[in-house]
Amino acid sequence: MIYLDNAATTSPKPQKVIRAVTNALVYLSANPGRSGHSTSENAAIVMYETRNKVAKLFNAPNAEGVIFTPNCTASINYVLKGLLKRGDRIVTSSLEHNAVIRPLTALKKYGIGFDVFEVDIDNSETTFKNFLNTVGNDTRMVICTHASNVTGTLLPIKKIGAYCKEKGILFAVDAAQSAGVIPIDMKEMGIDYLCVAAHKGLYAPMGTGLLIMSGPTPATIIEGGTGTESANLNQPIDLPEKYESGTVNLPGIAGIRAGIDFINEKGIDRIRNHEIKLIKLAYNRLSKISGIRLYSSQYDDKAPLLSFNLNGMNSIQVANELNRHSVAVRAGLHCAPFAHKRLGTIDCGTVRISPSAFTSEADIIKTTEYVANIASKSKAIF
């Protein structure tokens, strides 16, 4: 199988991640920090070391603000539902994933509104101007994606963060498509809340996410046992226990630690350069195929993914044909209807190619050859 669906979750996982998860299952099956025996203590050490590695990777203010969550979507919900209150207005972008748009839509019934600024797919200066024209004196929070999961477009996070700091606006970033592939410095970028899908660019197991906080702590939306202050019927207020009720996913956390070691050894810049090189190769080869529609003009300053359509075929049909050739891609709306309305593909979706550190040039060449073969058999007009 040629796996090109890494924007959904990376595959394969590095061997060191697999070993770390297996080791945790075999030797660390104990609730960390909640028992007096050595297995529990060793499990707690894994959590402590992982928090420190995460904080260092993203230049977070402290390791205590690193919260382990089930996924990036949960992290976003913790921020939005824990901080926002009636009368608040939020600003977000026109390329957002449903992980942002659906919680914001759900919060409308509580008197919380949001405004949307248009993203220029290939021009960050225009995007920032549109942002400035949308944000207002009544804006309490800005939340936006770092990188679109449909076009790969990078938003001008550093400029937005600096503006938010100047105006006293909270700033949350959905880094599902960028963390581990594009350098992120929370202090330099002015990020108060960084939401991460650890199972993507950090190569951790599925079912792992991170919420990294440097801003005011949100109210909890889940309460329960933390192993601390057990006689207190109220939820502890100290971090990270405030947000980690119940038994944590220690095998997944061990996988996060190993995944960070993997990308540190490879180097984020090296990983990104490798993946961008592959995307450019795919773009150049696809652009020569009759009947292909591509949705961006350049890939130098984007996340490493590419969306396209084939004249006369629905994106899902193309993905099914590629699957017959043992090529895994993503098709449809990618849970990002805002982005597809922006592209004019809300009715057909797109086919998405997204490589990883393990993808080769041969994988891209074979895939584009298969696409050319599929295109030659399609006679309808788009």
Domain range list for the chain: 2-10+267-377, 15-265
**Angstrom distance (rounded) from CA 211 to CA 179:** 12
DSSP codes of every residue in 272-334: HHHHHHHHHHHHHHHTTSTTEEES-S--TTB-S-EEEEETTS-HHHHHHHHHHTTEE-EEE-T
Task: Give residue 209's pLDDT.
Answer: 98
**Cα distance between residue 13 and residue 252, in whole Å:** 12
- Residue 33 has what pLDDT? 75
pLDDT given at position 229: 86
Q: What's the CATH number for 15-265?
A: 3.40.640.10
Give me the tens of pLDDT residue by residue for the chain, a chain 382 residues long: 999 999 999 999 999 999 999 999 999 998 887 777 999 999 999 999 999 999 999 999 999 999 999 999 999 999 999 999 999 999 999 999 999 999 999 999 999 999 999 999 989 999 999 999 999 999 999 999 999 999 999 999 999 999 999 999 999 999 999 999 999 999 999 999 999 999 999 999 999 999 999 999 999 999 999 888 889 999 999 999 999 999 999 999 999 999 999 999 999 999 999 999 999 999 999 999 999 999 877 677 899 999 999 998 999 999 999 999 999 999 999 999 989 998 899 999 999 999 999 999 999 999 999 999 999 987 544 4
What is the pLDDT, as a whole number, of residue 381? 40
CA dihedral 298, 300, 301, 306 (to 10 degrees): 60
Own/partner contacts of 275-279, CB < 8 Å, gap of 24 or more, are 275/181, 275/304, 275/355, 275/356, 275/357, 275/359, 276/300, 276/302, 276/304, 278/304, 278/355, 278/359, 278/361, 278/363, 278/364, 279/152, 279/304, 279/305, 279/306, 279/353, 279/355
Residue 179, CB-side half-sphere exposure with 13 Å CA sphere: 31
**Amino acid at position 92, single letter:** T
> So what's the architecture of 2-10+267-377 in CATH?
Alpha-Beta Complex (3.90)
Query: What is the model's pLDDT at position 379?
Result: 53
User: 31 burial class (0-12, 13-18, 19+ CB within 10 angstroms)?
Assistant: middle
Contact 377, 322 (CB under 8 A): no
